[in-house]
Amino acid sequence: MTVAALPEVPASADDLSVWPASTTRLPHGGLAVGGVSLPEIAERFDTPAYVLDESEVRERCRTYRDAFPDAEVLYAAKAFLSRAMVRWVQEEGLGLDVCSAGELELAVTAGFPPERIVLHGNAKSPRDIATALRLGVGRIVIDSPSEIARIAAAVGPHGHQKVMVRVVPGVSAGGHDKIRTGTDGQKFGLSLTDGGAQHAVSRILGQPQLELTGLHCHIGSQITDVESYLVALRRMVGLLARIRDTHGIVLPELDMGGGHGIAYRPGEPALDLTLLARQLRIELIGSCTTVGLTVPRLFIEPGRAIAGPAGVALYRVLAVQHTGEKVFVAVDGGMSDNPRPALYGVRYAPRLVGRHSTAGSRKATVVGRHCEAGDILAADVDLPGDIHPGDLLAVPVAGAYQLSMASGYNMVGRPPVIAVHEGAARMLVRRETLDDFRRRDIGD
């Protein structure tokens, strides 16, 4: 249903800065995204549910294409993937970065050209590798020494596969220790400092069926400063120069990964994409000029920055409990559909939608329905003092790493994904039901 917007109110009183650009206010405290009322979506599709704004996804893809016109922009599928998402990304001119045979199969069967897909991951299974070769994936990123022989053997003596090497450049960046991947001492990649990356390059060059096209690095996630990327880029260019000097080859590609930080709550910092694009280009040209290298084609892999701000999670309040001075607001979802707060302390800004409250705000902690003390969706957030069972809460910036990380804990079932676009809502991914759990359980 298409809805009309109300006049804007000052951001200081009602900040929608982290919501999709299409978000508008409705009478009686409601919100609409993509021209569709969130309370109406909750009534039609039930809760919990994820709402994904197609226009926001597409506009963010275009923003990346405009910021990096000479680069290969790959959408990181692990943030969120569905057949519709595959189509949107393809139509907006992006490639794909996948981490498993499952993501790869879904993308290719949805019509995405496999030559525009990059497969990586720190522990690729035989199925991952076999699927990549069968479908003709564009590049495989080698993450460990053992993968060199495994991939070469799977390709066979008369086959051919383009590969890259994931390098650990020794740069610490990211919003939490658990998502910092650019330093030594963690599971990803081959170290620049101990010579592991250089040794891997030498071994790959000795495998004629493997074509080394370039280097890959990913320094972390939820990064909001540009300087970390520039430091990593300088070190990667230095390695490209050493490869040229040692082996007499100039690798034509350099993948700087993703991890571009976004704001989850009003006032939080986000990575300046325009600044990143400009500074990366300046640094890449300058560093290559200094060492006498031809400038390689740049790859980047945004995921969260495209899907995250396009999503909104909807929950129904089940209970409100006052324990001393603390208020717990329990909803019909939780860590089964969003484990990120429990995993690494992500903070969200939930909002009451569907009715207007004149009550003053007070601090409350939004918790899930699961049998875990750590099942907390949003700690110490401002909510109306009269919040009660039956109320509808909406959580913005819910498009990335929520449904993709969801589980079957307590057999609650994963929520559906509802796309909104130009006043219409349609289901992209249906709700997981008890029948789904029954069908998987084939024992006596």
| Residues designated catalytic | 371
Give dist(CA 92, CA 444) in Å, integer.
49
Is 377 within 8 Å of 366 (Cβ atoms)?
A: yes
Radius of gyration of the chain (CA): 23
If 0-12 CB within 10 Å is exposed, 13-18 middle and 19+ buried, where does residue 97 land? buried
Is 74 within 8 Å of 97 (Cβ atoms)?
A: yes
Residue 349: strand, helix, or coil: coil
DSSP 124-151: --HHHHHHHHHHT-SEEEE-SHHHHHHH
Q: Which amino acid is at 70?
A: D
Phi, psi values for residue 222, rounded to 5°: 60, 50
Q: What CA–CA distances, in Å, run from 247 to 85, 202, 240, 243, 271?
A: 41, 8, 10, 6, 37
Give dist(CA 321, CA 328) in Å, integer.
5
Q: What CA–CA distances, in Å, run from 8 to 23, 111, 349?
A: 11, 41, 20
What H or E segment, with its residue span, contains residue 240? helix 227-247
